[in-house]
Amino acid sequence: MNEYRVIVVGVGPIGVACALAVAVDRSLELVGMVDLDPAKVGRTLGELSGGNGAKKSGPVVVDDLEKALHGGADVAVVTTSSKFDKVAPTLQRLISESVAVVSSCEQMVWPWYRHRELADVIDAAARRTGCAVLGTGVNPGFVMDSLAVTIASVLHRVTSVRCVRRVDAGLRRSPLQAKIGATLSQRQFRELAGQGGIGHRGLAESVVMLAAGLGECVEPGAVCESLEPCLADRAMQSALGLISPGEVCGIHNVAHWRSGELIIELDLTMAVGLADPKDIVHLDGPVNLSVTIPGSVPGDSATVAVLINHIPIVCNAQSGIRTMLDLPVAGCRGRDGRG
Amino acid sequence: MNEYRVIVVGVGPIGVACALAVAVDRSLELVGMVDLDPAKVGRTLGELSGGNGAKKSGPVVVDDLEKALHGGADVAVVTTSSKFDKVAPTLQRLISESVAVVSSCEQMVWPWYRHRELADVIDAAARRTGCAVLGTGVNPGFVMDSLAVTIASVLHRVTSVRCVRRVDAGLRRSPLQAKIGATLSQRQFRELAGQGGIGHRGLAESVVMLAAGLGECVEPGAVCESLEPCLADRAMQSALGLISPGEVCGIHNVAHWRSGELIIELDLTMAVGLADPKDIVHLDGPVNLSVTIPGSVPGDSATVAVLINHIPIVCNAQSGIRTMLDLPVAGCRGRDGRG
């Protein structure tokens, strides 16, 4: 029944949730977990997740990928970093063992944009050993890029795309609230943003994927991005403590690109207490089409779902670096063992 | 520049629109048109379309596929019938020449549901000659099936799917208005519906595709369908003449299927003068997700677009009968030569 043996690399909140999803799926078998955090090493999934539905048996977290690879695996779910160059050594080791990869690494949804040469190296290595490597997620990976391309399939010509995503970060885990600068002052926000220690990753990669799905090629560095703080207009609670009026409660991140024939604008707001959360994909051309997802796609559970749903897809995909544009739709074919 | 040589088989309204789209696309070349209608045979696309943007030169309509195949072709757009068994001889002839196929044939989006053996025959033939064959469209093909599967990709588990499509048929071409029984009496509607001469095709096929994308297999005949007339509550104009109060202005077509773990309901209304046209995909499970397309995906232009956008996809696909579930997203990569 267990078609694919899965290693989870990185057991932060998303990694643990992925491991839990693997553990309860009849077609998957959790064969390894890897994390450098000494507080996690040696623990089972049941211990990591507070016994949340998982068996107490099963693999324990190891601090070295070699140990996890020892028993063999078909695919790894990699949730260690947003940056492709940080993930690359892990990818190379997995690829060398012909282990396919699904990763939430944001830059990896279109790795050529920021790391063209490294992407070519990884791609060639994966082709040599016959395994596929995919970066995916909700944003980037779905709601502001591949979903928009899917909808464009029913249009003859698209001249402009505008995607809006409004997320109430108050409903999200604390690392995300930290990522968007909740509780910071404006000055602290700008300092941290300047150092790259804050903000969302992957908006430019979404633009590039979207453009590719509409037949356009974006040159490296050609996407314009802006990042501004959202300021609290009232006192509000966050997972990181009280946010006073005038302090930062989130981010407003806009990415923009245009060619002679096409304009793309992605407008992302993630803020604690944000009213009217939703996703909108709006495509303009001779025929216009708008798609709305009230409440917005829930970032955390959906990221886990999209990673797990793509396990059978990457295991059967053509080898090399794949993107959401060249794989068949994943759907949701898994079934809980409890089902 | 012309990557793919295209034959259009069937030059009704959709076929002519496809041929026009091919003619203006820099990556496509219109090399043939086929139709049995003596009034169309010998005419150029410019003549068929009233000079609507197309060159007066180019191929003329022939009444025999052999003549159109004479000069060679890469792919055929087939818009001749809703029924797979009616289209099958055309498919077999095209396949024998290794010509890939994109078709609007409704049953062909999941041909195994009503014609399992014939589908296997066509599939085997296409594999032998190395070409891919795809049935697609808006409904079936997109809005009540593959789009829902795409959205399910970000959910961990789906227990119920409800798709609602409300189309204002007053905005559509007259063959569609005839198909939904506009201007008929209730009695005439039921007689024609009993003979299969009225109604929408492909709702059951959408259910089967949707179920497949959610990991479930629907047995032939297992989808329950109902077809009811919508009655005019006021006098209204249609392309077929005045509809008096109490006469038929459209259809309400519902398809339903359930297994132990999954419920699918597709609810389609197509009626002249229908208020609040829209598409809704609603997925239920531990996490719910709803997607709304205000105004609804425009049936005619979108059908043409989805056929044309899939030309490069089928030309590069694995051979055999393909479905929207096993092909990469098409997007909208074509560019007008005028662009």
- Cβ atoms of B179 and B110 within 8 Å: the answer is no
Measured on CA atoms in the order B141, B275, B81, B229, is the torsion positive or negative? positive
Which chain B residues are Cβ-neighbours of A333 within 8 angstroms? 213-215
- Cβ atoms of A139 and A202 within 8 Å: the answer is yes
Confidence of residue B197 (pLDDT cuts 50, 70, 90): confident
pLDDT value for B333? 79
Confidence of residue A338 (pLDDT cuts 50, 70, 90): very low
Confidence of residue A173 (pLDDT cuts 50, 70, 90): confident
Question: Is the pLDDT higher at A335 or at A187?
Answer: A187
Q: Which residues of B249-277 are buried (b: 16+ CB within 10 A; e: fewer)?
A: bbbbbbbbbeeeebebbbbbbbbbbbeeb
pLDDT value for A336? 57
Which chain B residues are Cβ-neighbours of A335 within 8 angstroms? 157, 215, 261
Which residue in this structure is represented by tokens 């990694």? A15
Confidence of residue B217 (pLDDT cuts 50, 70, 90): very high
Q: What is the share, in percent, of chain A residues with pLDDT greater than 70?
A: 96
Confidence of residue A171 (pLDDT cuts 50, 70, 90): confident
Identify from B22, B25, B156, B171 which residue to disrupt to test chain A contact, counting A C-beta atoms within 10 A and taking the largest count. B156
Q: Pairing state of beta strands A28-34 and A61-62?
A: parallel
A146-296 topology per CATH? Dihydrodipicolinate Reductase; domain 2 (3.30.360)
Q: What's phi and psi for B136, nearest 5 deg?
A: -150, 180
Cα gap A165→A212, rounded to integer Å? 21
Determine the average pLDDT of the residues in A158-173: 93
CB-based contacts of A126: which residues, under 8 Å, 6+ apart? A95, A132, A133, A319, A320, A321
Average pLDDT, chain A: 94
* Among candidates A21, A301, A329 on the partner chain, residue whose Cβ is nearest the Cβ of B150: A329
Residue A339 has pLDDT above 50, yes or no: no
In this prediction the pTM is 0.96
Cα gap B77→B68, rounded to integer Å? 13
Residue B83 has pLDDT above 70, yes or no: yes
Answer whether B191 touches A (CB < 8 Å): no
Nearest to A12 by CA among A34, A28, A44, A31: A34
Helix axes B116-129, B84-96, angle to 10 degrees: 10
Q: In chain B, how many H helices and how many E strands?
A: 11, 15
Determine the average pLDDT of the residues in B202-211: 97
Identify from A18, A154, A157, A293 which residue to disrupt to test chain B contact, counting B C-beta atoms within 10 A and taking the largest count. A154
Peptide bond into A298 cis (omega under 30): no
CB contact under 8 A, B305 and A154: yes
Residue B325 has pLDDT above 90, yes or no: yes
pLDDT value for A53? 54
Cα gap A337→A20, rounded to integer Å? 12
Q: A-B interface: how many C-beta pairs under 8 angstroms?
A: 169
- Cβ atoms of A103 and A79 within 8 Å: the answer is yes
pLDDT value for A227? 95
Task: Return the half-sphere exposure (C-beta side, CA atoms, 13 A cut-off) of residue A86.
Answer: 13
CB contact under 8 A, A302 and B290: no
Confidence of residue B1 (pLDDT cuts 50, 70, 90): low
Q: Which two tokens stand for residue B149?
A: 């599967």
- Classified as helix, coil or strand, A79 is coil
Q: What is the pLDDT of residues A210-249, one digit of tens each?
A: 999 999 999 999 999 999 999 999 999 999 999 999 999 9
The minimum CA-CA distance between B316 and chain A, rounded to whole Å, is 11
CB contact under 8 A, A332 and B156: yes
Identify from A18, A153, A259, A308 which residue to disrupt to test chain B contact, counting B C-beta atoms within 10 A and taking the largest count. A153
Q: From residue B23, give the alpha-carbon distance in Å to each of B4, B32, B49, B57.
A: 11, 11, 12, 11
- Cβ atoms of A160 and A138 within 8 Å: the answer is no
CB contact under 8 A, A332 and B158: yes
Determine the average pLDDT of the residues in B217-245: 95
Answer whether B182 touches A (CB < 8 Å): no
Determine the average pLDDT of the residues in B146-154: 98
Which chain B residues are Cβ-neighbours of A147 within 8 angstroms? 150-151
Which chain B residues are Cβ-neighbours of A287 within 8 angstroms? 298, 301-302, 305
Answer whether A66 touches B (CB < 8 Å): no
Identify from B27, B306, B307, B332 which residue to disrupt to test chain A contact, counting A C-beta atoms within 10 A and taking the largest count. B332
pLDDT value for B338? 38
Nearest to B13 by CA among B309, B336, B242, B303: B303
pLDDT value for B339? 33
Q: From residue A29, give the alpha-carbon distance in Å to each of A41, A308, B266.
A: 20, 12, 35
Determine the average pLDDT of the residues in B40-47: 95
At position B19, the amino acid (one-letter code) is A
Residue A54 has pLDDT above 60, yes or no: no
Residue of chain A whose alpha carbon sits nearest to that of B145: A331
Identify from A156, A161, A264, A309 which residue to disrupt to test chain B contact, counting B C-beta atoms within 10 A and taking the largest count. A156
With a CB-CB cutoff of 8 Å, which residues 254-273 of chain A face chain B?
261
Residue of chain B whose alpha carbon sits nearest to that of A260: B339
CB contact under 8 A, A325 and B328: yes
pLDDT value for B56? 60
Confidence of residue B137 (pLDDT cuts 50, 70, 90): very high
Which residue in this structure is represented by tokens 């956008």? B309
Q: Which two tokens stand for residue B244?
A: 């008096």
Q: Which two tokens stand for residue B115?
A: 């014609």
pLDDT value for A180? 93
Is the domain covering A4-136+301-322 a CATH 3.40.50.10170 domain? no
Cα gap A119→A111, rounded to integer Å? 6
Answer whether A337 touches B (CB < 8 Å): no
Domain boundaries along the sequence of chain A:
4-136+301-322, 146-296
CB contact under 8 A, B292 and A291: yes
Determine the average pLDDT of the residues in A111-122: 98
Answer whether B30 touches A (CB < 8 Å): no
pLDDT value for A55? 59
Domains B4-137+301-322 and B146-296 share a fold: no
Q: What is the pLDDT of residues B207-216, one digit of tens each?
A: 999 999 999 9
Q: What is the pLDDT of residues B161-181, one digit of tens each?
A: 999 999 999 888 888 899 999
pLDDT value for A299? 83
pLDDT value for B284? 96
Cα gap A164→A246, rounded to integer Å? 24
Determine the average pLDDT of the residues in A189-196: 92
Task: Work out the burial of residue A98: count CB atoms within 10 Å of its CB; fewer than 13 is exposed, 13-18 middle, 19 or more buried.
Answer: middle
Cα gap B11→B61, rounded to integer Å? 8
Which chain A residues are Cβ-neighbours of B211 within 8 angstroms? none
* Helix ranges (DSSP H) in chain A: 13-24, 45-48, 65-69, 84-96, 116-129, 146-152, 174-179, 186-194, 203-213, 299-309, 311-315
Q: Which two tokens stand for residue B140?
A: 């079936």
CB contact under 8 A, A146 and B289: no
CATH dotted code for B4-137+301-322: 3.40.50.720
Q: Tell me how far apart the terminal alpha carbons of chain B are, to the nearest angstrom.
A: 14
With a CB-CB cutoff of 8 Å, which residues 143-162 of chain A face chain B?
143, 146-147, 149-158
Which chain B residues are Cβ-neighbours of A298 within 8 angstroms? 287, 289
CB contact under 8 A, A336 and B302: no
Residue A315 has pLDDT above 70, yes or no: yes
Q: Tell me how far apart the terminal alpha carbons of chain A are, to the nearest angstrom.
A: 14
